[in-house]
Amino acid sequence: MNMPIKQVPGRRSRRTTAAMTVGLTVCLTAALGACGSGSGSSSSASGGSTSGGTVGVSLILKTLTNPYFVSMEKDAKTQAAKDNVNLTVAAGNADGDTQTQITAIDNAIARGDKGILITTNGDAVNAALGRAKQAGLFVIALDTAPNPASTADITYATDNEQAGKLIGQYAAAALGGKPAVIAMLDLFNNQVVSVDINRDHGFLEGMGIDPGSKTENGKEAKSGKYTGGKGGTYKVVCHQPTQGAIDGGRTAMENCLSANPDINVVYAINEPAGEGAYNALKAAGKEKQAAIYAIDGSCSGLKNVTSGEFAADAVQYPGKMAALGVSSIAKLARGGSKPSVTSGKTFFDTGTALAATKSLSGLTVQSPTQAASACWGS
């Protein structure tokens, strides 16, 4: 969640996950390398490669204060050690810090790296990525495609619309035909982040409600009938921005309860927004009235499913995105073929799953314990 970048597909800004301070030193190579600051760019040993030799790869993240991206770094390092890759890790100092990412891209070119994995902080990095491609580096976007998507050679990401659809289907089935009074806790008020739109629309589609637009949130009919599960009537009482953060989620939920105190279904763009919503519901004595449906799949989020704070969570795999990226560039540098997109999609889909404590007919559900085997964060 978190977070923001334009265009399909994408997370998080994970994209939408609330920032968590992580005291962290970045090791620059997969085996024996120098270490530097967790933000900014770092240099590794020789980035060149021969057949079967060491391959230089740069992992350039949004920040290293977000557990979602820390998980990418961790799994990328593990894969780099397996693939004899010199991995250089760099990150912006904050969401939106494109200049630090641009510097890291230019350093990768100068070092002779064979490829770049990047969760971009914005369109300002596009020209630098273009220079990297012209220099022969293979560019893989992680989590969210750049704008335009062709800025990268390929994107490895979760299908965020499908993630939203999974929790929407679960919410509809859990209602058992009862009226739905719905709060939509989105990322922002503007319509520029694909993650925001895809997850919102997916949830509504899973509920059996027409989003009313392919490009904007809040265009659905505000009342009518949902067709998911056994079907029933619905009201959408609010669309509130959360910035993908706990505080934002609480404020958004408070505003929604002011609009209608009978809310019984809460869609949350990510887990931090869902946590904030739960805090507001608990303060109002309504935590048992409303079911919260979130997206992310962090280890802490799955604990909230176990405790009952979340009714369901759509889980995603950021570490898998990064590990596959490292492996793909290593294989390509050693004469292998270029990776290809998932059939029928414009990106390589790294998967999503539905986690809940209660199984419902017609839905494939993982228990929180099962989902925790691949969770990220702590």
Contact present, 315 and 365 (Cβ < 8 Å): no
Strand 138-142 relative to strand 115-118, pairing: parallel
Place of tokens 């709060």: 183
Report yes or no on 346 lying in a domain.
no
User: What gap in Å lies between CA 23 and CA 343, rounded to an integer?
Assistant: 40
- In the chain, DSSP assigns E strands to 12-16, 25-27, 35-37, 55-61, 85-91, 115-118, 138-142, 154-157, 180-186, 223-226, 232-241, 265-268, 291-296, 312-315, 348-349, 353-355
| Residues 41, 151 within the same domain | yes
| Residues 301, 170 within the same domain | yes
Our measurement of the distance from residue 252's CA atom to the centroid of its chain's CA atoms, rounded to an integer in Å, reads 21
| Residues 153, 183 within the same domain | no
- How many CA atoms lie less than 13 Å away from 320 in the CB half-sphere? 15
Closest by Cα among 188, 216, 195, 220 to 205: 220
Contact present, 261 and 289 (Cβ < 8 Å): no
255-297: per-residue pLDDT in tens? Answer: 999 999 999 999 999 999 999 999 999 999 999 999 999 999 9
Report yes or no on 5 lying in a domain.
no
| Residues 248, 368 within the same domain | yes
User: Is pLDDT of 34 > 50?
Assistant: no
Give the confidence band of 28 by pLDDT, cuts at 50, 70, 90: very low
Structural domain for 306, as ranges? 160-315+352-372
144-170: per-residue pLDDT in tens? Answer: 899 899 999 999 999 999 999 999 999
| Residues 102, 238 within the same domain | no
Report yes or no on 2 lying in a domain.
no
Report yes or no on 232 lying in a domain.
yes
| Residues 91, 117 within the same domain | yes
| Residues 195, 247 within the same domain | yes
Q: What's the domain count of the chain? A: 2
Report yes or no on 262 lying in a domain.
yes
User: What gap in Å lies between CA 102 and CA 110, rounded to an integer?
Assistant: 12
Lowest model confidence (mean pLDDT) among 31-40, 118-127, 342-351 = 31-40
| Residues 165, 292 within the same domain | yes
Report yes or no on 33 lying in a domain.
yes
pTM: 0.82
Helix (H) or strand (E) holding 300: helix 299-307
User: What gap in Å lies between CA 276 and CA 89, rounded to an integer?
Assistant: 32
310: domain CATH number is 3.40.50.2300
| Residues 68, 152 within the same domain | yes
User: What gap in Å lies between CA 316 and CA 92, rounded to an integer?
Assistant: 23
| Residues 28, 48 within the same domain | yes
Report yes or no on 345 lying in a domain.
no
| Residues 267, 151 within the same domain | no
| Residues 106, 195 within the same domain | no
